[in-house]
Structure 1
Amino acid sequence: MFKNYLKIAWRNLLKNKGYTFINVGGLALGMAVTLIIGLWIQDELTYNKYYKNKDRIAQVFQSQTFNGETGTGPAIPRPLEKALRDGYGDNFKHLIMCSWTNNHYLKYGDKSISRPGNYMQQEGPELFGLNIVKGEKDGLREINSIMLSQSTADALFGSEDPIGKTVTVSNEHKLNVSAVYSDIPVNNSFNDTDFIIPWEKYLAVNEWIKNAEDQWGNNSFQMLVQLADNTTIEQVTDRIKNVKKDLNEDTAQYNPQIFLFPMKDWYLRSSFENGKQVGGRIKYVWLFGIIGAFVLLLACINFMNLSTARSEKRGKEVGIRKSIGSQRGQLIYQFLSESFIVVLFAFVVAILLVLLSINGFNELSRKEISFPWSNGLFWGVSFIFIVFTALLAGSYPALYLSSFRPVDVLKGTFKTGKYAGLPRKILVVVQFTVSVAFIIGTVIVMQQINYAKNRPVGYDKEGLIQVPTFSQDFVGKYDLMRAEFIGSGAVVEMSMSSSPTTSIWSNRGGFIWEGKPEGFQEDLAWTEVSPEYAKSLNLKIVEGRDFSREFASDSLGVLINETAKKYLGMENPIGQLIRDDSEENPDPPLKIIGVVQDMITQSPYEPVKQGVYVYDRHDNASYYNMRLNPNQSATQNITTIENVFKEHFPDIPFEYDFIDGEYGEKFASEERIGTLSGVFTALAILISCLGLFGLTSFVAEQRKKEIGVRKVLGATIFNVWNMLSKDFLKLVVISCFIAVPIAYFVMNGWLQEYPYRVILKWWIFALAMLGAMFVTIATVSFQAIKAAKANPVKSLRTE
């Protein structure tokens, strides 16, 4: 019996090839989008799956309050380690001090490479559960050891056995390779850790870190922990939250709250607002999950619409089958079988579409997603998905078709009823409501991105590059290198700075100045720069003057930005002093000599932070900033700069970044989300149009005799087009008026997350409505005009 049902179903599908193409194509497209989104969501939700103990791993965070505003982050003071070990050690299986991940130069023989890595305490590799490929599991036991990732070992040693070999780090320290570990996969935290050096080495070679042992105000470190088996993150957080405030009076004024931030939240729920966790990337998981569900719903709506619309065509078949004894249940089973075949075929096509598009999707989303061929859970979920979709898409047509009375159908007196088309109309409204809402949402996302992109950055980022100087080899050579680079003709100006142009690496407080309000708790972005910093960036001086080498006193001078002027409450800042408030070994007072225009150094969606630019007296910055010669090509300039660089630093790999590219990376995440949303929106509209096209063709076929009569009586092509189009256009207009308030409410809420945001304009909604109407008219017109131009003689001939 089932075999017979399959034959009948297959023949019906082949008999109506256009209908089958639209049905299968629309459904396959919807399924493909849903599968792609599902794989993306799975990748997001399984972030950090590499770490076996991820549910027990956490990072120590702290919240501090400055003038009523609470900031939260992973930076902690070094004395906290001793406090937690001595007072709360039983709560932790592992407690690891760790540096920030930074690039260092690694050299072996004649080969020199730059790789990111960390200084870490001895138990770090065990906490992460690193897979040791070669060497010792306890690879950080010796102070002069280094552990390398597999890819880094291959890059340095090729086919040689790296164990026991000596690697020179930053042209300063010679370390012996003690172990090689498998690269941490991309979708995991610390995946860019290509080497690990003992924490003891970090202390031994950096005087300031040794001095930080008792400095509770120096938040320059991070700490990772693995909980003991007999406790929870919430319990330990409750025990340690006031440890810093209790042990140090100087920082107690900022109400520091220590807590454990679990690894499971590092990626998806990493946003904090005024000390409270408020989400993060999880909002994109929800967004794309909703998009996937709606796209699949649109495809199912198409199937239901076209199936019910064609019910009259199969009315006589149902009547004959019932008259010769078929039960209603058998008919339902047959029609559901047809639905299952369509869905199964569509699923196969969807998989092919996914395989064809997954590389492009990975490139667009910066993922490394692969199709889960060997995942039994995926195939089990897919089977349930197919059955559910078949039931969802085929249940109404099956129940509707099987309810026809055979005597009415065979006598020709069957009527579909006054409201028979109402479900189809409702489904069309739902389809275009979703599509219009998607259009509005995508336009607003892209507008917000462009709004932030067009925000004045405060400096000229075109033709500006930065070169990292992460080695003692650069110390004391700035003046020489500046003269060399400018003398080469490739650089017109150069400076150095302790932070990259597009970031803030240091924040400081503890200052006093004239007029400082009682109890004011300052938090200043702190950047040490050479005198040419403003010139090299084309940074405008709005008050006072720039640094000058002609004035020896400028070594204790300071520039502030416009935001800092307001923040410090200084109407006339030039000449005012900023003094160190510490009682022991205070730094000399700094004199404000100029105010520079605000420049965006953090998120372009956030207000500019109050910044201080201090004369670098130690010639020990982290970056060279170079303004390229505009009269030569960038390629020629870079080649010349590299040649000069290699003359002076032959053992250090030459690296550089264009500042405009670094700044553009700040929009990368939102741009990817916007682009993906745009692609999915276009596919949703395409699916809706496919359904509308099929429905229009059916209506035109259903009313072909009426159209023939009208044409004989003198109706024009426009009259027929208007008759067939206006009903669909009405439905789309209704959809627009439903979609607009929904889209406004959702997108207005989304924009509230950005202090610097676009204002919603009426034309965005009007444009989306007009676009939907245009697409509808274009889709319907093809079939309507085709029907209007048909020869009425053919349509009026009867059997």
Structure 2
Amino acid sequence: MIKNYIKTAFRGLMKNKGFTFINVFGLALGLATCLLIVFYVFDELSFDSYNTKADRIFRVNNNIKFGGNENSYAVSPAPTAAAMKADFAEIEQVARFRNNGGNQVKKGKQNIVEDRMVYADNSIFSIFTLPMISGSPQNALTAPHTVVITEKMAKKYFDRTDVVGQTLTFNDTSLYKVTAVLKDIPKQSHFNFDFFIAMPGLAESKEDAWLSNNFNTYVLLKEGADIKKLDAKMTAFMIKHAGPQLQSMIHLTFSDFEKAGNYYKLDFIPLRRIHLHSISVAELDVNGDIKYVYIFSGVAILILLIACVNFMNLSTARSSNRAREVGVRKVLGSPRKHLIFQFLTESVLVTLFATLIALLAAWLFLPQFNKMAGKELVVTGQIISWLLPTLLLIIVIIGCLAGSYPALYMSAFQPIEVLKGKIAAGFKGGMFRNILVVGQFCISIFLIISTLVIYNQLQYIQSKDLGYNRDHVLVIKNVWSLGKGAKSFRDEVKGLGGVQNASLSGALPTGGYGNSSAFFKTPTMDQKQSMLTQIWPADENYLPTLGIKIIAGRNFSKEMSTDTAALVINEAAAKQLGFINSIDQFLYSPNDRMGKTIKKYHIIGVIKNFNYQSLKDNITPLMFNMDEDRGAVTVRVKSANIPGIIQQIKNKYNSFSPTQAFAYSFMDEDFDAIYRAEQRIGTISVAFTSLAIVIACLGLFGLAAYAAEQRIKEIGIRKVLGASISTIVGMLSKDFIKLVLISIVIATPLAWWAMHGWLQGFAYRQNVQWWVLALAGVGAITIAFVTISFQSIKAALTNPVKSLKSE
């Protein structure tokens, strides 16, 4: 019986090749899109799940509100880990990372800058799942000047992995003994370091500084421990440990500090939530965003829904063509359940063919999707193990759901009415089908508006005046490797003919610099006259190099030795400080991590506010102090021959460090990288919107073809009576255009509401423009009309003799 159903279904599909192609191709596009998005979502949700103890691992976050500003940090004080383990029985183990930047590693005669370095406690091997190829996790990082490296680094520097006992040279001076080799850390990790340096070699790690936050701290709870109960103990914990130092610095008890509207508290974030839910300062890597996981998942469902709607629409539209078949089958004794099963078999077959094509298409387009999404997705055995059973289930579910309405609809025909020709045919008879068409175009219009809004916001970001000039600015990286020669290198670069100015500082508006400090208006450090602000080291060339405007006072001067204790502040800082005239006012700040000494600063200048953070954030207080920072040399190029000046700068660099690789970037490219996630969303939105439109148009194309076919005799009569081609095209098109207009009315406010909410994530944004909504509506009507017109014009040009010869 089943064999007969399949054979009959296959013959029916082959008999109507056009219908079958539209259904298979539409479903295949929808399923392929869903598969790609599923790969993306699976990858995002799997971050840190390789850790066998992931459910018991938590990171300690630090939240500070002080002096009118508040921040959340992914780091905490150095002694936090040891104190927590000593105070709380529910904690099994603790570990810390200290991300202190990269180092040069010698390979032969060449020095290679390695940025993926971190200081780490040996206990990381008890918390995280970091399998070793060689070496022992018991004491790998217990002695100073020891390092654990990944398999990739072992092969890079030694061409083998059995390198325990070998030595690596950092910065031409420091020798580090390799004590273990790890398997490469999975890419789905919120940290991806290649060098783990022993924490005992870092003096800062031993300091009892509770008011300085530099260490990423992790705790492993014992089995059955409740993180909520532990979290409730954090206030008392901070009062006990941080309270004395806080009182010593600002002369307030912890309780009085909080009563004044401030807070200094620790909390916990589960390991597996870090990648998608954490946006704290000092993250160990660039995190994702759960919001985009939800958006992509929703888009996948919507596109698949459009494809399924196509199937249902086209199947019910063909009802008149199969009405006599149903009538004959019923007269010959076929029960309704057999007819339903027959139609569902056809639906499942279509879904099966579409799924096979979708699998092939997803595999072929995966590399291109990786480029768009910034991923390195691959189809692994683990994915196949759950994908194949899931696809089989999808084939059955989609096949039955998409085919259920047509099956129930057509199997309900009464034989006597069918055989007398009384079954209503045509486009106008299907109210449910019309609702489905409206739903399809609602989704398409929603996606069109969303894509236009995202593109418009990205264009706004690119063109907004940020308060500094990022054009023709070259950033020379890794200048710290030049040591004391960094300043001389800057001066020689500045003297080149094609260079307008050059500055030595790693604190850049595109660099994510996050060093914060508290400043007070009085030497007694009265918290009522305080401010928490970012403080960036800069030289006298920094402001003119970036084109930052001074609105009061002056810039730093190397001729004035007192400028080492000078500050240049932005407008936001000046406003919050509340000085009538900020110039020559004094501020005070702790001069060490313990807060035992105080440094006095005087304000010499006020600069116009500039966006030194993402445009998602409002401009907050910022201060510059004249201090040496060898992170980078920023060069403003005035030469038209940019490749030539880059080569000159490279030659200068190599004269200072012949063994060090020359690395640079353009500041406008670094700026674009800040919004890479949004740019990817924009690119993917365009692709998915295009696919949704194509799928919707496929269905509309098929419906128009059947509507024209069912009205072919009416068209013939109208032509005989003198109707023009344009009249007939308008007649066939108006019913569809009405549905598109209804879709516009429904989808436009929904899309406006959704994109208005998305734009709220940007402190600086454009509102949803009226022309975006208008353009989306006109575009939808145009697309629909062009799609329908092909069939309408074809029907209007048909010779009426052919359609009326049997009458």
TM-score range, shorter chain: over 0.9
Q: Deviations over 1:130-178 (max 9, x none)?
A: 1211233342133221111111222212248432221111233101111
How far off its partner does 1:791 sit? Answer: 0.8
Query: For the residues of structure 1 that align with 2:469 and 2:184, how far apart are their CA atoms?
Result: 39
Query: For the residues of structure 2 that align with 1:419 and 1:783, how far apart are their CA atoms?
Result: 17
CA contact (8 A) 2:69 2:531 kept: no
How far off its partner does 1:718 sit? Answer: 0.9
Q: Secondary structure at the match of 2:38?
A: helix
How far off its partner does 1:788 sit? Answer: 0.7
How far off its partner does 1:609 sit? Answer: 2.1
Aligned match of 1:146: 147
Q: 1:643 aligns with which of 637, 640, 651?
A: 651
Aligned match of 2:762: 754
Query: For the residues of structure 2 that align with 1:469 and 1:696, how far apart are their CA atoms?
Result: 63
Aligned match of 2:621: 610
Identify which range, 761-770 or 20-29, moves more after superposition.
Answer: 761-770
Q: For structure 2, which runs of at least 5 residues remain unmatched after alignment?
A: 247-253, 282-286
- In structure 2, the CA distance between the partners of 1:536 and 1:135, relative to structure 1 (3 Å rule), is same
CA contact (8 A) 2:519 2:533 kept: no
Q: Deviations over 1:84-136 (max 9, x none)?
A: 23322x33222112202622211133242222111011111332221211233
Aligned match of 1:91: 90
CA contact (8 A) 1:105 1:653 kept: no
Aligned match of 1:232: 226
Aligned match of 2:112: 113
Counterpart of 1:34, as a letter, is C
- In structure 2, the CA distance between the partners of 1:294 and 1:789, relative to structure 1 (3 Å rule), is same
Q: Deviations over 1:565-611 (max 9, x none)?
A: 21222332222222237897644422222122222222122112211
Q: Secondary structure at the match of 1:753?
A: coil
Aligned match of 1:432: 441
Query: For the residues of structure 2 that align with 1:587 and 1:481, how far apart are their CA atoms?
Result: 33
Counterpart of 1:385, as a letter, is I
Aligned match of 1:353: 361
Query: For the residues of structure 2 that align with 1:610 and 1:46, how far apart are their CA atoms?
Result: 37
Q: 1:787 aligns with which of 787, 791, 795?
A: 795
- In structure 2, the CA distance between the partners of 1:214 and 1:515, relative to structure 1 (3 Å rule), is closer
How far off its partner does 1:419 sit? Answer: 7.4
How far off its partner does 1:362 sit? Answer: 0.8
Q: Secondary structure at the match of 1:519?
A: helix
Q: Does 1:289 align with 2:274?
A: no
TM-score by length of 1: 0.93
Alignment of 1:539-618 (within 5 A): 539-580=548-589, 586-616=597-627
Query: For the residues of structure 2 that align with 1:146 and 1:238, how far apart are their CA atoms?
Result: 37
How far off its partner does 1:280 sit? Answer: 7.3
Aligned match of 1:183: 184
Q: Deviations over 1:706-739 (max 9, x none)?
A: 0000000000001101100100000110111011
Counterpart of 1:222, as a letter, is N
CA contact (8 A) 1:76 1:219 kept: yes
Q: Secondary structure at the match of 1:65?
A: strand
Q: 1:377 aligns with which of 386, 395, 415?
A: 386
- In structure 2, the CA distance between the partners of 1:487 and 1:744, relative to structure 1 (3 Å rule), is closer
Counterpart of 1:50, as a letter, is Y
How far off its partner does 1:50 sit? Answer: 2.0
Query: For the residues of structure 1 that align with 2:322 and 2:104, how far apart are their CA atoms?
Result: 75
Q: 1:462 aligns with which of 471, 491, 494?
A: 471
How far off its partner does 1:489 sit? Answer: 4.1
- In structure 2, the CA distance between the partners of 1:335 and 1:477, relative to structure 1 (3 Å rule), is same
Q: For structure 1, which runs of at least 5 residues remain unmatched after alignment?
A: 204-208, 274-278
Query: For the residues of structure 2 that align with 1:728 and 1:521, how far apart are their CA atoms?
Result: 66
Query: For the residues of structure 2 that align with 1:470 and 1:632, how far apart are their CA atoms?
Result: 23
Identify which range, 501-510 or 713-722, moves more after superposition.
Answer: 501-510
Q: Secondary structure at the match of 2:474?
A: strand
How far off its partner does 1:789 sit? Answer: 1.1
Alignment of 1:46-61 (within 5 A): 46-61=46-61
Q: Deviations over 1:455-495 (max 9, x none)?
A: 22222212222234475x64433442223323454643222
Identify which range, 489-498 or 404-413, moves more after superposition.
Answer: 489-498
Q: Does 1:333 align with 2:341?
A: yes
Aligned match of 1:76: 76
CA contact (8 A) 2:639 2:645 kept: no
Q: Does 1:482 align with 2:482?
A: no
Query: For the residues of structure 2 that align with 1:517 and 1:129, how far apart are their CA atoms?
Result: 47
Q: Secondary structure at the match of 2:187?
A: coil
Query: For the residues of structure 2 that align with 1:777 and 1:419, how far apart are their CA atoms?
Result: 18
Identify which range, 124-133 or 680-689, moves more after superposition.
Answer: 124-133
Q: Secondary structure at the match of 1:631?
A: coil
Q: Secondary structure at the match of 1:589?
A: strand
Counterpart of 1:155, as a letter, is K
How far off its partner does 1:67 sit? Answer: 4.9
- How many residues matched? 782
Aligned match of 2:14: 14
CA contact (8 A) 1:466 1:500 kept: no
Q: Secondary structure at the match of 2:102?
A: strand
- In structure 2, the CA distance between the partners of 1:769 and 1:403, relative to structure 1 (3 Å rule), is same
Q: Deviations over 1:266-318 (max 9, x none)?
A: 01121479xxxxx9722211111111111111111100000010011011111
CA contact (8 A) 1:242 1:257 kept: no
Counterpart of 2:213, as a letter, is N
Query: Which portions of structure 1, spanning 4 or more consecutive aligned residues, are displaced by more than 6 angstroms?
Result: 514-518, 581-584
Aligned match of 1:451: 460
Q: Deviations over 1:227-253 (max 9, x none)?
A: 122413222222234422333245432
Q: Does 1:676 align with 2:664?
A: no
How far off its partner does 1:687 sit? Answer: 0.7
How far off its partner does 1:68 sit? Answer: 6.0
Q: Percent identity?
A: 36
Q: Does 1:712 align with 2:711?
A: no
Alignment of 1:168-567 (within 5 A): 168-191=169-192, 193-203=193-203, 209=204, 213-247=207-241, 248-249=243-244, 251=246, 252=254, 253=257, 254-271=262-279, 281-372=289-380, 375-415=384-424, 420-469=429-478, 471=480, 474-489=482-497, 491-502=499-510, 503-512=512-521, 519-567=528-576
Query: For the residues of structure 2 that align with 1:41 and 1:519, how far apart are their CA atoms?
Result: 47
